[in-house]
Amino acid sequence: MKRLLTYSLVMIFMCGFHACKKDENPEPQMSGTDDDDPPIGTNFEGVIEYVKTFGGSNEDEAAAVVQANDGGYVMVGTTSSTDGDIVDKTTTDPDYWVLKVNAEGVKQWSKTYGGTSPDRGTGISKTNDGGYILSGHSRSNDGHVGGNEGFHDYWIVKINSVGDIQWETNFGFSGSDQALNIIQTSDGGYFATGFLDVTASGGLGNDGRNPEHGVGEYWGIKMNANGEKQWRRYFGGSSNDRSYDVVQTDDGGFLMIGASESSDFDIVDDKGSYDFWVVKVSAAGDKIWTKSFGGSEIDVAYSIAKATDGNYIIVGDTRSIDQDVSNPLGNADLWVVKFNKDNGAIIWEKTYGGNQFESARSIKRLANGTYLISGSTRSANGDVSMNIGQNDAWVMIINENGTLQYEKTVGGTSLDFADAAIQTTDDKVIVVGNTESNDVDITLNRGIKDLLLIKVK
């Protein structure tokens, strides 16, 4: 149906989108600052403190970042390098990569995890014991990987504060099953979200719920503190549906968000091609409600944050110009939707960007109630102060009503992407992603693609 054709198109789009255009360092823009309060705090200047690259001669990237208890930063991503900053790897197949730096961006330690087949790290959360929980997907059945059930499996790795593995576990069937994020839950356990290849699993993986078949569906796995499965449930329709992020709600349940290409089974309000899709489940994994947002084209949600009023905000990108998308700006816009926590009803939605391609990959609520969004841009107009080269890393701050308070592009004349950003304890901003540039803001290129670390003060 329309879904299968659109899936091919969106894969081309997503691959092409991690490639784009730029010029020189802009001054920080305090766009729309109609509030008296600065975007983060009184000492926030909005200028670059440092830009650093890490990696080796191959491809290296960061997918997520957290601040360590000692004030430094811990990043997770993927590396194919065997040299440079990668000191414990001898093969060029991709492995999980965790990099620890201090507050000044100086490397403290670097560790890789995986086997002899591709393993890709996608998410990291701090844990109550001072360590970290990692998510991703693995094709290996050796090295650090204790098992493999098929093609890709969810691979969950628990490490301590210095990167030593405490335990690891895998979940999957014969197809491509990929964990895209993980959180620690209020009971000390964990919840991993991503997608399940339901066709390959033959409907398995939906413990305690009547199986409904699709091509790929949201797959949520609740684990205890030792990584042992408590329940698994999948949600979706007969096409491609994948979850990129999850939060735990005040009632102990979960909101899984991502994109749905389906129009049947669990999807009851399909808008078009791919839609932002939210699934609310109980603490036991039972579906409570679902909600779609978007228009007739491709709309993909990547991240969710709890708002100050208890509702939720999701971010991603949209190519639609109709239905829920009220103000299309360019070829693809960074799209933000705030919705009601009880029923998913839209409270407000806004697009940001210029006349080219923009996307948001993460959103975090800041201490003062504003929101930090990271992503990428190809534009040099509209909400974007300037374009440095092809695709630029883009960071912005909005207030509770969606008013743009600050934005900045960072990069060189090649491809630069921001995949995650956090507020630091000293009211600064850390941004991570990847870069193929070696000029302008990027003073050192170590290989084909480098892990990108940006600090804005």
Q: Total domain count for the chain? A: 1
pLDDT digits (tens, 9 = 90+) for 378-398: 999 999 999 999 999 999 999
How far is residue 307 from each of residues 171, 275, 296, measured CA to CA in Å?
32, 21, 27
Tokens of 222: 């609740």
Structure confidence at residue 269 (pLDDT): 98
Please tell me whether residue 176 adopts helix, strand or coil conformation. strand
Residue whose token pair is 């850390």: 430
The pLDDT value recorded for residue 98 is 99
pLDDT confidence of residue 39: 78
- Comparing 216 with 371, the larger pLDDT belongs to 371
* Per-residue pLDDT reduced to its tens digit, 362-380: 999 999 999 999 999 999 9
- 322 DSSP 8-state letter: S
- pLDDT beyond 90 at 214: no
Which residue range is the domain that position 60 belongs to? 2-456
Where helices occur in 122-181 by DSSP H, the ranges are none
What CATH number has the domain bearing residue 232? 2.130.10.10
Least confident window among 37-46, 48-57, 70-79, 106-115 = 37-46
| pLDDT grade for 313, boundaries at 50, 70 and 90 | very high
Mention every residue, 6+ apart, whose C-beta is less than 8 A from residue 53.
435, 442, 444, 445, 446, 450, 451, 452, 453
Q: Tokens representing 233?
A: 């449930």
Q: Which residues pair with 193 in a beta bridge?
A: 181, 220
Tell me the pLDDT band of 10, cut-offs 50, 70 and 90. very low
CA 232 from chain centre, in angstroms, equals 22
Backbone angles phi, psi at 312, to 5 degrees: -135, 155
pLDDT > 70: percent of the chain: 92
Could you tell me the pLDDT band of residue 215, with boundaries at 50, 70 and 90? confident
Q: Give backbone dihedrals phi and psi of 10, rounded to 5 degrees, phi first.
A: -70, -30
Amino acid at 179: A
Question: Does the structure show a pLDDT above 70 at 1?
Answer: no
DSSP character string of 238-288: SSBEEEEEEEE-TTS-EEEEEEE---STT--S--SSBEEEEEEE-TTS-EE
pLDDT digits (tens, 9 = 90+) for 257-298: 999 999 999 999 999 999 999 999 999 999 999 999 999 999
Percent of the chain with pLDDT over 90: 89
* pLDDT one-digit tens code per residue, 126-137: 999 999 999 999
Q: Output the pTM of the full model.
A: 0.92
The residues, any chain, with a CB within 8 Å of residue 74's CB and separated by 6 or more, are 65, 66, 67, 68, 98, 99, 100, 124, 132
